[in-house]
Amino acid sequence: MVSPLSSFQHPEKEASHLLPMASNSSPSVSTEANRSSAELGPGELGSMNQQISLYAKTLRISVIGSLNYDRIWIVPRLPRPSETLMIGEYRQTPGGKGAIQAIACARLSHAKPGGTAPFLLRSNSNKGPGGRRSSSQDLKPFSIKVIMIGVVGEDLQGARIMDTRAANRVDIEHILRCREETTGTASIALDKNGENNVLVHPGANYRLSSDRIHVDLPEGSPHLLILQMEIPVQTVEDLVKKAAEKRIPVLLNAAPVVDDFALDILWSVEHLIVNKLEAEALVERRQIASNMSRQRPEQDENREAEVGRGKELCKSLLEFGMKYVVVTMGGHGGVVGSRGPDGKAHIFDYEAVEVQNVVDTTGCGGVFVGAYAVQYIRQKFSPGGGFDIARAVTWASKAAAMKARSFGSLEGVPWEDELDAA
């Protein structure tokens, strides 16, 4: 039974707005930028709009998704069906795809606390005229605000999740607490090679439904909306449609695989990031809908064969209408596809970043998404605009590789200065 909205508790206000409304009094816009269109002289409006988009001090990434509490079981190897294994070690930590992506966005757009250097927006090239590296004079002041929207239970796990988000520079104002459900839980079996199997009980995450919580997306804000599939499918579909109406770019991490997701909604998604298994599932569903028969190929340890299949998948996914598609393939790297102004698909592969002493791959996908999102915002709103997706996936791969060196979903998520120094 669906409980009324009153079953949710908000620390400061009602849950009528899950995303921040634009405000003429926002401190992120200069006094000059605060002038209304009525005050601008002839010909000034266009240039003023450009100034605001390029030089506003704060850009927003909103992550709407899952907030889980992870229970991690350290095992000698992943169990086979009907097999019982003894656990060598057991740990608990906040997690969830949405939570990891939000924290990755926040950390990778800020220097580690304790440093003195402000975060600065880099130009699209790391080198200036004549091949020299860009100096501080080539940089523009820039900051990214990360807003997390989700639901936790009124329990100890929910409280710990709230504390973790706040400590990592994530805006938690719109995280709701539900009396009638426990906080979402993930049970993770982790082997000695850092590989894992994950089982998720959504708990309070499945209370984030559009029929009970009104989501208002102001025109053009946030500057990027990130979604995953650990919240109700209908909520994801409604948010994608709403974002499209407001011209807000959407990054969808279509994980985990769900069978009742409306494929036509992908026409309104700008960025799709999936692993190879998730890509196979989406393409297979499309083939079934088109009465096409195709057997899913087995995993191949040969990188050339895997990359070849990845390129086929990427090409098929671009036909859904997305502008950018990334298919990640673990140790084989991944495949990237984009659709240019001419409508043609441009597809290439990238190699994985080598990691010595892999400890835990849990959360690496979320870190990849967060790093990619930060790169998109950095590039898109820099002078000159544009988006070099090759640069984005290279930076994201490096961030995910750093995460794999540490145990737990959130431990090891790098800060911006740590990643740049690595």
Known binding residues are: 68-70, 230, 275, 328-333, 360, 362, 403, 406, 408
Give binding residues for K(+) as ranges.
360, 362, 403, 406, 408
Give binding residues for substrate as ranges.
68-70, 230
Query: How many Å from the N-terminal Cα to the C-terminal Cα in the chain?
Result: 50
User: What span, in angstroms and rounded, lies between the C-alpha atoms of 148 and 378?
Assistant: 19
Q: Across the strands, what pairs with 235?
A: none
User: What span, in angstroms and rounded, lies between the C-alpha atoms of 222 and 63?
Assistant: 10
Give binding residues for ATP as ranges.
275, 328-333
Q: Give φ, ψ of 63 to 5 degrees.
A: -110, 120
Which residue in this structure is represented by tokens 């927003």?
Answer: 60
Nearest one of 90, 6, 50 to 384, comparing CA atoms: 50
Do you know the residue count of the chain? Answer: 422
Torsion from C-alpha of 152, 372, 305, 285, nearest 10 degrees: 50
Q: Are 265 and 258 in contact (CB under 8 A)?
A: no
Nearest one of 381, 374, 386 to 110, comparing CA atoms: 374
| Torsion over CA: 123, 129, 135, 139 (sign) | negative
Nearest one of 420, 419, 391 to 405, comparing CA atoms: 419
User: What span, in angstroms and rounded, lies between the C-alpha atoms of 197 and 286?
Assistant: 26
Helices 303-318 + 276-289 axis angle, to 10 = 50
Q: Are 339 and 318 in contact (CB under 8 A)?
A: yes
